[in-house]
């Protein structure tokens, strides 16, 4: 088994000095990546004050790059409805230069109603999301790669190569979040990394987040769909890394060291090699468990030990 990778995502705003101190600490602790959640809206309490203020994701990713020296930095994820794909790719290339080759461009179809309301945008019809994402990813990939071939899509297009090229050998990694078969078909030709969080936000109502078993089963099914799509287009499925955001399921990895190993181990068994967690931690968690896992467990898992 190859070593697993672990990253933390900054969702909420905090004093900038505190954020930079956290990011440096996360890097020093051995994490592999830092992620910026890309949202516009902020939750508001009964008193009308923002309870979860947000900062701009790409500016925050630049701050992560400036504050660190080793970890990958990127957005998790930037929704296509709020970012021109060519502009986003240029931002990712710039982040790559700022970070010395550590940038990851994270994209997805998005559709968060609260974000759309703040941006004054309109929801994309469900039937259009996958074809739009396919064209969006194609444009981002073309600009990241400096392609001289234009993209003339129904929804997105670009013409002319961009410079300078990436610093990272092999180019900027493109992460695509995809939570259904149609989105996976859109991602398969272009993604270096596939990301999921178990089930679409639209299905998180009713009884709440999926159980650990439901999430694991759904993620395994989607991974098999991705395998088939890669094979259909002549791509090696192993060339697409598998990542998972552990935040929207009923898993409780931070309640004990054993729970962390069990949770990560079950997802690793179905092919997940990179794990993301929000920080500050969400859901039931024990700060002492977090400290022990970071100090004693993550180095072993990153070195190849089985969970």
Contact 172, 166 (CB under 8 A): yes
Q: What is the pLDDT of residue 205?
A: 58
Residue 87 within a domain: yes
Region of residue 120 (phi > 0: left; psi between -120 and 50: alpha; otherwise: beta): left
State the average pLDDT over residues 149-157. Answer: 94
**Across 188-192, 255-259, 281-285, least confident range:** 281-285
CATH of the domain at 227: 3.20.20.30
pLDDT of residue 203: 58
pLDDT of residue 44: 85
3-state secondary structure of 289: helix
In this prediction, residue 109 carries a pLDDT of: 93
Q: Structural domain of residue 266, as residue ranges?
A: 5-302
Bond into 91 cis (ω within 30) = no
Residue 247 lies in a domain: yes
103 belongs to a structural domain: yes
pLDDT tens readout for residues 123-149: 889 899 999 999 999 999 999 999 988
Asked if 286 contacts 249 with a C-beta cutoff of 8 angstroms, the reply is: no
Is position 307 within any domain? no
Q: Is the dihedral of CA 117, 16, 177, 138 positive or negative?
A: positive
pTM exceeds 0.75: yes
Which residues are registered as beta bridge partners of 14? none
Q: Is residue 234 part of a domain?
A: yes
Residue with tokens 């550590």: 102
pLDDT at 52 over 90: no
Residue with tokens 């297009």: 157
pLDDT at 122: 84
pLDDT above 70 as % of the chain: 97
What confidence score (pLDDT) does residue 209 get? 83
Question: Who contacts 201 (Cβ-Cβ below 8 Å, separation ≥6)?
Answer: 111, 112, 248
Res 290: pLDDT: 98
Total structural domains within the chain: 1
Q: Which pLDDT does position 48 carry in this prediction?
A: 82
pLDDT for the residue numbered 54: 94
Q: How confident is residue 204, by pLDDT bands cut at 50, 70 and 90?
A: low
DSSP string for residues in 229-284: HHHHTT--GGGSEEEEETTSSS--TTS-HHHHHHHHHHHHHTT--EEEEEES--SS
Give mean pLDDT, residues 114-131.
89
Encode pLDDT of 72-113 as tens digits: 999 999 999 999 999 999 999 999 999 999 999 999 998 788
Whether 244 contacts 219, CB under 8 Å:
yes
Q: Is 131 helix (H, G, I), strand (E, B) or coil?
A: helix
């Amino acid at each position: 088994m190859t070593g697993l990778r672990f990253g933390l995502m900054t969702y909420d705003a905090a004093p900038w000095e505190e954020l930079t101190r956290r990011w440096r600490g996360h890097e020093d602790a051995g994490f592999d990546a830092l992620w910026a959640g890309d949202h516009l809206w902020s939750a508001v309490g009964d008193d009308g004050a923002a309870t979860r203020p947000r900062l701009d994701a790409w500016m925050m990713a630049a701050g992560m790059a400036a504050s660190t020296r080793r970890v990958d930095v990127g957005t998790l994820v930037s929704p296509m409805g709020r970012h021109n794909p060519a502009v986003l790719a240029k931002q990712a290339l710039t982040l790559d230069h700022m970070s010395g080759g550590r940038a990851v461009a994270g994209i997805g179809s998005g559709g968060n109603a609260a974000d759309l309301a703040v941006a004054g945008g309109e929801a994309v019809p469900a039937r259009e999301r996958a074809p739009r994402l396919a064209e969006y990813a194609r444009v981002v990939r073309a600009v990241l790669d400096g392609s001289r071939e234009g993209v003339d899509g129904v929804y997105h297009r670009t013409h002319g190569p961009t410079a300078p090229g990436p610093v990272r050998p092999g180019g900027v990694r493109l992460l695509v979040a995809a939570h259904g078969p149609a989105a996976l078909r859109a991602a398969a030709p272009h993604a270096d990394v596939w990301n999921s969080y178990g089930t679409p936000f639209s299905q998180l109502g009713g009884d709440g987040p999926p159980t650990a078993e439901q999430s694991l089963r759904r993620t395994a099914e989607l991974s098999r769909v991705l395998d088939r799509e890669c094979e259909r287009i002549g791509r090696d499925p192993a060339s697409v890394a598998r990542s998972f955001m552990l935040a929207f399921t009923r898993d409780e990895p931070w309640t004990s060291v054993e729970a962390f190993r069990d949770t990560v181990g079950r997802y690793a068994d179905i092919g997940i090699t990179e794990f993301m967690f929000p920080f500050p931690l969400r859901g039931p968690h024990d700060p002492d468990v977090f400290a022990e896992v970071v100090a004693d467990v993550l180095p072993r898992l990153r070195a190849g030990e089985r969970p």
